[in-house]
Amino acid sequence: MNTLSIKDRFRLNRFFAGENPSDEAIPLNQRRIFILPSKRGLSFVVLILLLLLIAFVYNNNLAYFLTFLLASVFFIGILHSYKALAGLIIQKGQCKPVFAGERAVFEIHIDNPIPVPRLSLEIDLHDKTQMTLAPYEKKAVRLYAPTERRGHQPCGTITLSSGYPLGLFRAWSPLRFNLSVLVYPKPWPQEIPFPETGGGASDQGKAEKGTDDFYGLQEYQRGDSIKRIHWKAYAKGQGLFSKQYSGEQGDELWLHYEASAGYGNEERLSRLCRWVLDAEKAGLRYGLKLPGQKIGLGIGHAHRARCLEALALF
Amino acid sequence: MLASIEKNILLFLLISVGLIALPHIYHIPASIFGFFVLLLTWRFIGIWKPSCLPGKLLLFLLTVGGLVLLYSQHQGLFGRDAGTRLFMTALALKLLEIRQERDLYLIVFLAFIVAASQFLYEQSIAMAGYILFVCCVLLGTLVAINSRRQNTLNALKTSAVILAQALPLAIVLFVFFPRVEAPRWMLFEDKSRAKTGLSDSMEPGSISDLGFSDELVFRVRFQGPIPPNAQRYWRGPVFSVTDGKRWTAAKRYTYTAAAEPDFSEPAYRYTLLLEPQNNNWVFALEMAGDFPPQLHMNSEYLLTRSGNPDKRAEYPFTSYPSYRTGELSGHKLRTNTQLPGPASQKITSLIKRLGGFDTRPEQFVDRVLQHFNRENFSYTLTPPLMEDNPIETFLFETRSGFCSHYAAAFTYLMRVANIPARVVTGYHGGVLNPVGNFLEIRQADAHAWTEVWLENRGWVRVDPTAAVAPERIEQNVNIEQQIASRNISFFSADSELARQLDWLKQARQLWSSVDYNWQRWVINYHSANQTQFLASLGIESLKQMLYWLVGLGALFTSILSWLLLSRKEKTADKVLRCYRRFCARLGKAGLKRNAGEGPLDFAKRSKKAYPKQTEAIDEITGLFIKLRYQKESSQADLSRLSERVDQLKIRRR
């Protein structure tokens, strides 16, 4: 990470795509920051040439001086643009799974470790986000990206740029992190009845009825529905307990890949996804059977996530 | 979009545009300036009431109106005046059409051009300072556009810092950028613009700044000795008609032939190589006796040539510095004592005080010269404007001016005292080029003096400027150099007034010294000047010049980069580097820090893996967090952190 071969240094791609993805925090230095004049900078050059022509034709020394002053301002603008980004430390943050079609949210942390404010930063992933950083400020930035297909979707190149102070130059730094979002299949758009399963003729109606019969308390486990927490006991300081219902034991739902015969692979996964979500919502214990893969019966957040991940990566 | 452009940025921009245009109130016609002010005010109101800004149709009509206005005041398409008007009108129209950030940039760029155009009219120190200030405001506008949530005062501060940093580099460029004179075809003719060189009339009160260019007028090679500088008066147009402000030639003498004066030795023989001119005057040394037949000498001893003055021409002459002209005809006497009206009480009492009307003319001439010399008259190239009654204003109020002021005032006083007098313009002096052994006379040598007609002697040359600034006349140097380097005294030493106003004198001298240096080193730093200056530094070729330009540019850039970039980031970087080293050590031992793992979590994990190092790990982590996230961390903490990381000994698991 700290060394870069000569060959790599001159790779043109580095200017736009950034270096190899990183896990670490990336401090912005001369290796990471690229600077080129913006369109406005180029028109500023035209202005300088025009002023030079005026000074030349009229042989006017103060016009010359104004021209040279603006030329110097332009020139040292390079240093100032570098300063606009230099020293910032960028670190990757968390990224929660989303369903295909939703926007993925990538979180990155930008740290300004010096006592100089950064007044105009632009972060570009798919949309541009503008921000400022006060001296010593550390900010989390959420970047959005559209998702289309299930699976791991890497967060592409994040470009951090700034036109500060005069907008004549654009300093930018393409950053790549080992950061990807897990994209679940898109849930089937309409509600569909649960498939018939061999384990017991349970349907949605029955399951709902089953939840009425209180059976007992069980120690709270991660993933248990918040609705079932026995709040009274918690209020008395006896700890967290989940209520158990008698109907539940029988309400086992097996979600088969084969249950959606006649559909294509993606559509099947989409339907399964829908069922997982519905089953979770209905409070059913459900399991997932995919060709070559089986996830046992369960319920709760973690279980749901496991099932959806299996669907996403299938 | 318009909504996104903040009010204070607009306000800032409009104020700077107003400031940049303000001095043009003197330079462009009132109608165009009025148009500009109208549109600017409209735009100002538009900040608070966007609904009143013009729509597309109205804007189109305004544009047409602006063009009509330009056409009605037209001065051609190119040239200083036309260009200034064009840019002012464009700037005004663009103000009403601000839609995007890009439009703001265009306005700022146009404003910079208008700023440069100010210098084509005036090049004083005050103007330079003013424009520098306005440029700072303009750059501040750009800073404000490019920074979110920053107040305008801070933006102004940032732009001032940037300008200050750019200054050394600009000075290097200014000194070393090769100056090449523009080819002639590029010089756009401006009808209204005072041309460099002599003109066919003289109006001292209306010129506040005598632009002196280094342009060569003619070269003279003498056969034999060269006359002393005090005799080197190259005669040009003679003005004997005045309306009190303006002096012009008497038309009826233009073509009448001269009666040849009586000449006496010594005689100077020379050839004169005249550069292309605007007028057909030929400037011979006073007084030309023999001249080529294609030249014509009128009765005011002005030589003219027929044919195209645009061509370089060479003429042989013989001139006699001592000469005696004949009697004055009745008509000539009337012309040369002509006055615009009766003289004022003030003037007559001054003349009486100096012994006019009842002493001999020679004596009166001397007394007036003494008056110039003893009172606090000063020589300056940048006198104040004297719009009405320039002679009286000059004699009694401002008392500072250049040769035209002195010549006009002197001639006027003579005429009021019934002594025939007239103003003669031409060139004076010239610099000897030791290599070619010839004199070079440049536009900067333009001069005006007086001739009085005295009984038995005829027309006699009197140079009142010499009374004020004798150095200009007697020695072979420019007055501008003298004012600064030798502190010319405008007062005679024993004058009571001079003692009383000692501090004033010093201040004046200081100012003229500053002003001289400004004129000499900034305004007049042209190609010849530059070559001379750089040669004194040992830089003689263009190549060397470029080396210096690049070298000094690089030097200043590196100093600036060091100043700008080396500070502040250092500690943060060092802290991070130390911590990285710590992580790398543990990593080598087999405990890799996970992505996104906080320093505390990592510390917990590493303590579990290396319980023996608990203390060290805790301290390193603590120091790191303190240095990184708390403001009150010290240099000592950093060195301690570095030390601890180095001491850390971890054995491979």
Q: State both tokens at B290.
A: 């023999």
Torsion sign, CA atoms B123, B129, B130, B132: positive
Whether B421 shows a pLDDT value over 70: the answer reads yes
Whether B532 shows a pLDDT value over 80: the answer reads no
Q: Which residue has the higher pLDDT, B18 or B124?
A: B18
Whether A202 shows a pLDDT value over 70: the answer reads no
Lowest mean pLDDT among A239-248, A296-305, B252-261, B449-458: A239-248
B189 confidence band (pLDDT: 50, 70, 90): very low
Which pLDDT score, from 0 to 100, does residue A36 have?
Answer: 93
Which pLDDT score, from 0 to 100, does residue B467 have?
Answer: 79
Distances (CA, A) of B30 to B27, B70, B205, B574: 9, 12, 21, 64
B435 confidence band (pLDDT: 50, 70, 90): low
Q: DSSP of B343-375, one letter per residue?
A: PPHHHHHHHHHTTTTTS-HHHHHHHHHHHHHHT
Which pLDDT score, from 0 to 100, does residue B506 have?
Answer: 66
Nearest Cα of chain B lies from the Cα of A62 at a distance, in angstroms, of 6
Q: Which residue has the higher pLDDT, B489 or A49?
A: A49
Which pLDDT score, from 0 to 100, does residue B491 have?
Answer: 41
Nearest Cα of chain B lies from the Cα of A135 at a distance, in angstroms, of 10
Q: What percent of chain B has pLDDT over 70?
A: 82
Q: Which CATH architecture has domain A6-183?
A: Sandwich (2.60)
Q: Mark yes or no for CB contact B565/A83 under 8 Å.
A: yes
Q: Rounded distance, CA B246 to CA A54, Å?
A: 32
Within 10 A of A260 (CB to CB), how many other CB atoms are there?
20
Phi and psi, residue B216, nearest 5°: -75, 135
End-to-end CA distance of chain B: 63
Q: State both tokens at B294.
A: 């294609």
Q: Which residue has the higher pLDDT, B219 or B308?
A: B219
Report, as an integer, the average pLDDT of A89-110. 89
A contact residues 114-153, partner B, Cβ 8 Å cutoff: 114-116, 119-120, 130-132, 136, 138
Which pLDDT score, from 0 to 100, does residue B508 have?
Answer: 60
Which pLDDT score, from 0 to 100, does residue B188 have?
Answer: 52
From B403, B428, B445, B515, the catalytic residue: B403
Which pLDDT score, from 0 to 100, does residue B567 have?
Answer: 55
B contact residues 465-524, partner A, Cβ 8 Å cutoff: 522-524
Strand, helix or coil at A194?
coil
Q: Mark yes or no for CB contact B147/A119 under 8 Å.
A: yes
Whether B653 shows a pLDDT value over 70: the answer reads no
Phi and psi, residue B295, nearest 5°: -95, 155
Cis geometry, peptide bond prior to residue B287 (ω within 30 degrees of 0): yes
Phi and psi, residue A131, nearest 5°: -155, 165
The answer to whether the beta carbons of residues B639 and B595 sit under 8 Å apart is no
Which pLDDT score, from 0 to 100, does residue B514 have?
Answer: 74
B485 confidence band (pLDDT: 50, 70, 90): very low
Distances (CA, A) of B240 to B85, B233, B300, B343, B369: 36, 18, 10, 17, 20
Q: Rounded distance, CA B88 to CA B24, Å?
A: 9
Q: List, by residue range, all CATH 2.60.40.10 domains of chain A.
A: 6-183
Whether B110 shows a pLDDT value over 90: the answer reads yes
Q: Rounded distance, CA B261 to CA B290, Å?
A: 12
Q: Is B447 a catalytic residue?
A: yes
Give per-residue pLDDT as tens, B544-583.
Answer: 888 888 999 999 888 888 887 765 545 666 787 788 888 8
Phi-psi map region of B170: left, alpha, beta (phi>0 left; psi -120 to 50 alpha): alpha
- Residue A51 near chain B (CB below 8 Å): yes
Which pLDDT score, from 0 to 100, does residue B537 have?
Answer: 83
The answer to whether the beta carbons of residues B92 and B34 sit under 8 Å apart is no
Which pLDDT score, from 0 to 100, does residue A4 have?
Answer: 63
Q: Rounded distance, CA B534 to CA B532, Å?
A: 6
Q: Rounded distance, CA B603 to CA B585, Å?
A: 13
Q: Which site among B119, B125, B165, B583 would you substitute to test the A interface, given the most A Cβ atoms closer than 10 Å to its Cβ?
A: B119
B102 contact residues in A (CB cutoff 8 A): 40
Whether B204 shows a pLDDT value over 90: the answer reads no
- Residue B578 near chain A (CB below 8 Å): no
Report, as an integer, the average pLDDT of A4-22. 71
Give per-residue pLDDT as tens, A116-152.
Answer: 888 889 999 888 888 888 888 888 998 888 988 888 9
Nearest Cα of chain B lies from the Cα of A51 at a distance, in angstroms, of 7
Lowest mean pLDDT among A190-204, B224-238, B274-288: A190-204
Q: Mark yes or no for CB contact A113/B569 under 8 Å.
A: yes
Q: State the SS3 of A198-219.
A: CCCCCCHHHHHHHCCCEEEEEE
Q: DSSP of B540-568, one letter per residue?
A: -SHHHHHHHHHHHHHHHHHHHHHHHHSTT
Which pLDDT score, from 0 to 100, does residue B76 have?
Answer: 65
Distance of CA A156 to the CA centre of its chain: 10
CA dihedral defined by B646, B648, B649, B650, rounded to 10 degrees? -120
Give per-residue pLDDT as tens, B161-179.
Answer: 999 999 999 999 998 888 8
* ipTM higher than the 0.95 cut: no
Q: Give the mean pLDDT of chain B.
A: 80
Burial of A102 (0-12, 13-18, 19+ CB in 10 A): middle
Nearest Cα of chain A lies from the Cα of B418 at a distance, in angstroms, of 45
Whether A208 shows a pLDDT value over 80: the answer reads no
* Residue type at B348 in one-letter notation: T
Whether B649 shows a pLDDT value over 80: the answer reads no
Q: Which residue has the higher pLDDT, B328 or A64?
A: A64
Report, as an integer, the average pLDDT of A203-216. 48
Q: Rounded distance, CA B378 to CA B383, Å?
A: 10
Report, as an integer, the average pLDDT of B135-143. 91
Q: Which residue has the higher pLDDT, B113 or B382?
A: B113
Starting at the earlier edge strand, list the strands of the sheet with A151-154: A98-99, A180-184, A151-154
Q: Give the mean pLDDT of chain A.
A: 82
B187 contact residues in A (CB cutoff 8 A): 57
B526 contact residues in A (CB cutoff 8 A): 59, 61
Q: Is B403 a catalytic residue?
A: yes
Which pLDDT score, from 0 to 100, does residue B488 have?
Answer: 40
Whether B298 shows a pLDDT value over 70: the answer reads yes
Q: Rounded distance, CA B310 to CA B11, Å?
A: 51
Q: Rounded distance, CA B361 to CA B649, Å?
A: 109
Whether B293 shows a pLDDT value over 90: the answer reads no
Q: Mark yes or no for CB contact A115/B568 under 8 Å.
A: yes
Nearest Cα of chain A lies from the Cα of B648 at a distance, in angstroms, of 22
Q: Which site among A68, A106, A110 would you substitute to test the B interface, given the most B Cβ atoms closer than 10 Å to its Cβ?
A: A68
Give per-residue pLDDT as tens, B357-395.
Answer: 888 888 899 999 989 888 888 887 777 778 778 888 888
Report, as an integer, the average pLDDT of B255-268. 81
Pairs across A and B, CB distance < 8 A:
178
Comparing C-alpha atoms, which of B300, B303, B296, B285 is closest to residue B336? B300
